[in-house]
């Protein structure tokens, strides 16, 4: 199988593609706001500890499983456990999760494109009106943007691993870094910018509690694209002689660095232009932040740099987020694509066509669940709240199933694949891994506290979301 399988052209190609998946909407807005509200520098320290001590081992488990089996998640689990093993359900779950989250992510990416087009075509004043967002998501133009995003993702994925996924990452990721740096340099030169930097970085350990800690873990997990089968799939496009350990570390560093740097763009911008903002007032929701708060902030720039300048800054920001979102969306949809291609012997074209129909239908339903169609808007009720179809996908897959998938992969590696085989496999391409501290640490942590922490987070999320009574 491995002979015909397409591979990334090099380790750098893999790193860029995996970083492209990891760097997404969560980095640009979710992380900076979470840090500012939850203890600044203290949050950053906790986040970094989670990335290093919890996420990197899981990341290596996912990438290692993919590289060893040269298969998508569904095939990966059964290739080690056997087709009749119960583990096949874990494989299916790791395919269904990105399938559903792709729907969710698609909807948000479509909105970003819409706002990008507005900013580029001189409509900054329109999107700066906080009321506009509600109208926009229920208007007909979203369908046009939906077709545009779907076409772009299709065009990238149909070209395959090297000429599609890798090429898109090779173009978009460096562009993203450059745009981010331009934005940071510009924002830091605004008056009062350093008030924002202060809120972002000065540690406040008194803000740390159970909710903040579990929030930091979820953010790190989500940001590194774990629990989604993506790193299994991308790992399967890596050759055995490529160093996996070094690659995983670089992906984690790149992702964290972008998230950190985005904070140096968002917070100074907010505090320079709205000096009276209180960190507590910032919305927890990235969606509210991107689509209602930030456009208003960009509009305020016109007093110093004119409408044209303000529109240019807003356009750059939305382009940056759009690039981040597209490379993530591509990685999400690659998982079910790879499964259809292998399991049902489909061409990539046919697999993508099948996904366009199925995911497309669900995306239309999600798009219509913000008020267009009552049945989808008030889809179900639980935890004492009425939930839309979009909310249900977010609750079930984003919040609940992600840590559960992480737990399953730990258990699988330790109890089924067995740690010595796993270690031997990871060591291919990196002669220093055997006997290293990292190896010892992974041996210990993956069979002890990592699964325990993930299980606790999972149970807490279930109790919180569906029963309204969190443990902490
Ligand atoms: N890691 C991406 C982000 O930070 C989101 C993402 C999650 C992408 C899961 C792919 C899969 O926004």
Minimum CA distance residue for ligand 1 atom 9? 225
Contacts of 331 (CB under 8 A, 6+ apart): 17, 18, 20, 21, 165, 225, 230, 233, 234
Provide the domain limits for residue 227.
Answer: 2-467
Would you call 386 helix, strand, or coil by DSSP? strand
Q: List, in sequence order, the alpha helices (H) in 286-373.
A: 286-288, 294-300, 302-343, 348-367
CA of 251 relative to ligand 1 center, distance in Å: 13
Minimum CA distance residue for ligand 1 atom 7? 225
pLDDT digits (tens, 9 = 90+) for 320-359: 999 999 999 999 999 999 999 999 999 999 999 999 999 9
- Asked if the structure places residue 472 within a domain, the reply is no
CA 112 and chain centroid, separation = 15
Helices 11-22 and 244-273: crossing angle, nearest 10°?
40
- Asked if the structure places residue 353 within a domain, the reply is yes
CA distance 393 to 336: 17
Q: At CB < 8 A and 24+ separation, what contacts does 390-399 make? A: 390/104, 390/107, 390/366, 393/100, 393/101, 393/103, 393/104, 393/366, 394/104, 395/465, 395/466, 396/100, 397/97, 397/100, 397/101, 397/104, 398/101, 398/104, 398/222, 399/218, 399/461, 399/465
Q: How many domains does the chain have?
A: 1
CA distance 25 to 318: 11
Q: CB of 4 within 8 A of CB of 69?
A: no
CA of 225 relative to ligand 1 center, distance in Å: 5
Contacts of 9 (CB under 8 A, 6+ apart): 162, 166
CA of 105 relative to ligand 1 center, distance in Å: 9
Mutate to test the pocket of ligand 1, among 19, 22, 229, 405 (most ligand atoms within 8 A of CB): 22
pLDDT digits (tens, 9 = 90+) for 53-90: 999 999 999 999 999 999 999 999 999 999 999 999 99
Mutate to test the pocket of ligand 1, among 73, 94, 103, 223 (most ligand atoms within 8 A of CB): 223
Rg (CA), the chain: 22
- Asked if the structure places residue 139 within a domain, the reply is yes
CA of 323 relative to ligand 1 center, distance in Å: 12
- Asked if the structure places residue 123 within a domain, the reply is yes
Residues having CB within 6 Å of any atom of ligand 1: 21-22, 24-27, 222-223, 225, 228, 230, 328, 331-332
Minimum CA distance residue for ligand 1 atom 6? 225
Mutate to test the pocket of ligand 1, among 18, 20, 26, 259 (most ligand atoms within 8 A of CB): 26
Going by the DSSP 8-state scheme, the letter that residue 130 receives in this structure is T
- Asked if the structure places residue 412 within a domain, the reply is yes
- Asked if the structure places residue 16 within a domain, the reply is yes
Q: Is the pTM of this model over 0.85?
A: yes
Each residue's pLDDT expressed in tens, for the chain with a length of 472 residues: 445 799 999 999 999 999 999 999 999 999 999 999 999 999 999 999 999 999 999 999 999 999 999 999 999 999 999 999 999 999 999 999 999 999 999 999 999 999 999 999 999 999 999 999 999 999 999 999 999 999 999 999 999 999 999 999 999 999 999 999 999 999 999 999 999 999 999 999 999 998 889 889 989 999 999 999 999 999 999 999 999 999 999 999 999 999 999 999 999 999 999 998 888 888 888 899 999 999 999 999 999 999 999 999 999 999 999 999 999 999 999 999 999 999 999 999 999 999 999 999 999 999 999 999 999 999 999 988 999 999 999 999 988 999 999 999 999 999 999 999 999 999 999 999 999 999 999 999 999 999 999 999 999 989 988 998 888 8
**DSSP codes of every residue in 33-46:** HHHHHTTTHHHHHH
Minimum CA distance residue for ligand 1 atom 5? 24
CA distance 217 to 55: 9
- Asked if the structure places residue 20 within a domain, the reply is yes
pLDDT at 3: 56
pLDDT at 282: 87
Contacts of 221 (CB under 8 A, 6+ apart): 55, 58, 227, 402, 403, 406
Burial zone of 87 (CB within 10 Å; 0-12 exposed, 13-18 middle, 19+ buried)? buried
Burial zone of 81 (CB within 10 Å; 0-12 exposed, 13-18 middle, 19+ buried)? middle
pLDDT at 1: 47
CA of 26 relative to ligand 1 center, distance in Å: 7
CA dihedral 249, 253, 256, 258 (to 10 degrees): -140
CA of 31 relative to ligand 1 center, distance in Å: 12
Q: CB of 20 within 8 A of CB of 173?
A: yes
Task: Output the domain CATH number for residue 453.
Answer: 1.20.1740
Atom in ligand 1 nearest the alpha carbon of residue 98: 11
- Asked if the structure places residue 271 within a domain, the reply is yes
């Amino acid at each position: 199988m491995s002979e015909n399988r397409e591979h990334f052209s090099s380790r750098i190609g893999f790193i860029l593609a995996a970083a492209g998946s990891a760097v997404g909407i969560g980095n640009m807005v979710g992380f900076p706001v979470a840090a500012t509200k939850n203890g600044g520098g203290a949050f950053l320290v906790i986040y970094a500890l989670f990335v290093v001590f919890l996420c990197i081992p899981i990341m290596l488990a996912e990438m290692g499983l993919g590289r060893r089996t040269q298969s998508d998640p569904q095939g990966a689990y059964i290739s080690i456990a056997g087709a009749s093993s119960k583990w096949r359900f874990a494989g299916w779950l790791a395919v269904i999760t990105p399938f559903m989250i792709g729907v969710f992510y698609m909807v948000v990416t479509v909105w970003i494109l819409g706002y990008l087009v507005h900013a580029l075509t001189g409509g900054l004043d329109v999107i700066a009106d906080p009321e506009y967002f509600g109208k926009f998501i229920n208007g007909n133009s979203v369908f046009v943007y939906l077709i545009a995003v779907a076409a772009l993702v299709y065009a990238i994925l149909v070209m395959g691993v090297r000429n599609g996924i890798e090429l898109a990452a090779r173009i978009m990721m460096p562009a993203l870094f450059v745009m981010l740096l331009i934005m940071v340099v510009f924002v830091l030169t605004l008056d009062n910018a350093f008030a924002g930097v202060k809120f972002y970085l000065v540690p406040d350990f008194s803000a740390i509690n159970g909710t903040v800690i579990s929030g930091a873990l979820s953010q790190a997990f989500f940001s590194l694209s774990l629990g989604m089968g993506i790193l299994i799939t991308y790992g399967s496009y890596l050759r055995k002689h490529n160093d996996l350990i070094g690659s995983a570390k670089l992906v984690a560093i790149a992702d964290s660095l972008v998230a950190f740097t985005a904070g140096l763009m968002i917070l100074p911008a907010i505090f320079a232009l709205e000096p009276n903002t209180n960190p507590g007032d910032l919305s927890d929701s990235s969606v509210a932040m991107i689509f209602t708060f930030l456009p208003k902030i960009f509009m305020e720039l016109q007093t110093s740099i004119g409408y044209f300048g303000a529109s240019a800054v807003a356009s750059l920001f939305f382009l940056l987020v759009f690039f981040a979102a597209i490379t993530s969306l591509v990685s999400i949809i690659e998982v079910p694509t790879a499964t259809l291609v292998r399991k049902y012997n489909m061409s990539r074209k046919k697999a993508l066509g099948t996904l366009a129909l199925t995911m497309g239908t669900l995306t239309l339903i999600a798009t219509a669940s913000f008020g267009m169609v009552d049945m989808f808007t008030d889809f179900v009720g639980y935890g004492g709240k009425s939930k839309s179809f979009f909310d249900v996908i977010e609750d079930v897959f984003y919040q609940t199933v992600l840590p559960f998938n992480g737990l399953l992969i730990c258990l699988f590696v330790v109890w089924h694949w067995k740690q010595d085989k796993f270690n031997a496999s990871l060591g291919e391409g990196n002669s220093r891994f055997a006997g290293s501290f990292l190896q010892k640490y992974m041996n210990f942590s993956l069979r002890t506290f990592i699964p325990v922490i993930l299980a606790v987070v999972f149970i807490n999320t279930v109790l919180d979301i569906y029963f309204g009574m969190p443990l902490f």
